[in-house]
Amino acid sequence: MKNDSSCPSARAVIEAWGGKDANLRRFIERHVASCAHCSALVRALDELGSFVADGGDIYSEIARVIDERLSSERPYRWESLARANPEFHHRVVVAHLISRSDECYPSNPRDGLSYADAAISAFEAMSKGRPPEIAADALLYAAALKNRATHLYLLGRYSQALCAADASADSVRPFGDTEGVVAHRASVALARGMIFGDVDVCEYDKALVEIDAAEGLFLTASPERVADARWWRAMILARCGRLKEARGLFGDLQMAVAADSAERATLLQCLAWCALLDNDDAKAFEYASTALQIHSVRYSRVDRAKAEWAIGRVLSRRNDHEAARSKFESASSVFAESSQLDLWVRVRLDHVHDLLTENPRADVRALCESIAAVSQMLDQREALRRHHCTAEALAYLRRSAAEATITTETVAYVVGYLDQLTTAPPARFTPPPTSHVM
């Protein structure tokens, strides 16, 4: 089946079958009659022609074959499979793997990373490890690297994510400001801003520099993505405590989207939390209630639960305890079912605070025990500094409940400490002054 030096090139065979050169066609037909290798190539061409003539989509068929091949292996094997198997060494296959990686954002970062790594390996094998020679190839490779950075970021592997983002930017650097390159550089700058601005990294000054760069590049190359950069700027401003600036920017952004859109609901939710942190309960309730209405229509359960949580906090501050705890119960149930355990911990802590506000003698030992246990599990499962600090704070609260020294002041102190973990690099928990526990 293997071809030798007497065989015409595959390009010549394809040209003979698809072209108008009768002499070339006759020559190839005589060769094919005695050559198993070229005969197999011609059969494949005939099958492909019939497939397309019958309305088949060749790209969908390639996607089906690749997906079928990947499904036979564990995701951690996809990278080595793509490197070793020549059927993966084509641009259309690399593009399909990148598309599959995109589909995994943000809900399935582990498979998303496996798809991205497979795309990178396939491209490097296809190009035999040489740098891309044309901008289109550079952009394809850079997209796979950026996807790797994005999914590493979601998995909390921040240093590796920044390295992948840098590699993505470096791969297109030789091509200057050609079509698509500027937009990609903007996307990479935004990705770096997201990483620096994560609550477990807290390098907010660096994040804002990257986001400023992304916005400037988007203005030139992809005006439709300017809003993405501005949204992340508002998020970073909120995280570093610049609430007035964040509220102004979120407000501007929500005026530019449809009144009943999911985007507007998300922006209103961000405004609600900024207002809560700014002790503006009236606006927080207004924003969160509108967001809840939109999310209920669109049936976004987790987002709806976040809005209910914000409303519960306002109701608790207004001493409407029964209504507040109803919201907290509803939100915590959704967070538990959705494995959003960080959020579950925070809502249950608000629940404890509300119980003690209404009745300082309320028995909250079981609640504090369950909250501390989940926090400890998160600390063991994901060794992040923020998780460790949270576990320390909640272990203190569990001891306070067991010793019957817990008060609304001590709970508020812990809630305030956990809020601070998102605005600055985590500092080790220290118990409150004695005045808080008397």
Q: Per-residue pLDDT tens for 123-153? A: 999 999 899 999 999 999 999 999 999 999 9
pLDDT value of position 64 = 82
At 1, the pLDDT band (50, 70, 90 cuts) reads very low
Q: Considering only 60-64, 132-136, 171-175, 201-205, which range has the smallest mean pLDDT?
A: 60-64
Which superfamily, per CATH, for 241-332?
Answer: Tetratricopeptide repeat domain (1.25.40.10)
Whole-angstrom distance, CA of residue 17 vs CA of residue 43: 11
Q: What is the largest CA-CA distance in the chain?
A: 101
Per-residue pLDDT tens over the stretch 342-363: 999 999 999 999 999 999 999 9
pTM reported for the whole predicted model: 0.80
The reported pLDDT for the residue numbered 19 is 65
Query: Closest by alpha carbon to 310, among 335, 345, 285, 337?
Result: 285
User: H/E element holding 203?
Assistant: none
Asked if 321 contacts 358 with a C-beta cutoff of 8 angstroms, the reply is: yes
Any idea what DSSP says for residue 9? P
pLDDT score at 421: 83
Angle at 57 between CA 56 and CA 59, to 5 degrees: 150
Reduced to 3 states (helix: H, G, I; strand: E, B; else coil), residue 211 is helix
pLDDT at 252: 95
pLDDT band for position 25 (cuts 50, 70, 90): confident
pLDDT, position 430: 92
Distance CA 371, CA 344 (A): 8
- Tens digit of pLDDT for each residue in 59-115? 777 788 899 999 999 999 999 999 999 889 999 999 999 999 999 998 899 999 999
Give dist(CA 365, CA 19) in Å, integer. 82
Task: Tell me the three state secondary structure of residue 5.
Answer: coil
Q: What is d(CA 15, CA 286) in angstroms, rounded to the nearest whole number?
A: 68
CA dist 274 and 423 (Å) reads 13
- Please say whether the beta carbons of 397 and 411 come within 8 A: yes
| pLDDT top residue among 19 and 391 | 391
**Rounded Cα gap, residues 90 and 127, in angstroms:** 9
Take residue 346 and report the two structure tokens written for it. 């925070």
Both structure tokens of 384: 């992040």
Tell me the residue type at 360: P
Q: Are 149 and 191 in contact (CB under 8 A)?
A: yes
* Statement: residue 196 has pLDDT above 70: yes
DSSP string computed for 32-83 = HTT-HHHHHHHHHHHHHHHHHHTT--HHHHHHHHHHHHHHTS-GGGHHHHHH
Burial tier of 341 (Cβ tally within 10 Å: 0-12, 13-18, 19+) = middle
Q: What share of the chain is helix, strand, coil (3-state, %, to 5)?
A: 75, 0, 25
What is the separation of C-alpha 283 from the centre of its chain, rounded to a whole number of angstroms?
A: 29
Sequence-ordered list of residues with C-beta below 8 angstroms from that of 234, at least 6 positions apart, any chain: 245, 246, 249, 250, 253, 270
- Which residues have C-beta within 8 Å of that of residue 201, sequence separation ≥ 6? 158, 195
- The SS3 assignment for 234 reads helix
Domain boundaries, the chain: 1-56, 241-332, 339-438
pLDDT at 315: 97
What's the whole-number average pLDDT of the chain?
90
Percent of the chain past pLDDT 70, that is, above it, reads: 92
> Residue 357: which region, alpha, beta or left (left: phi > 0; alpha: psi -120 to 50)?
alpha
Closest CA to 272 of 254, 248, 247: 247
Note the Cα 85 to chain centre separation in Å: 29
- CA end-to-end span of the chain: 87
Helix axes 158-172, 135-154, angle to 10 degrees: 170
Residue 435: band (very low, low, confident or very high) from pLDDT cuts 50, 70, 90: low
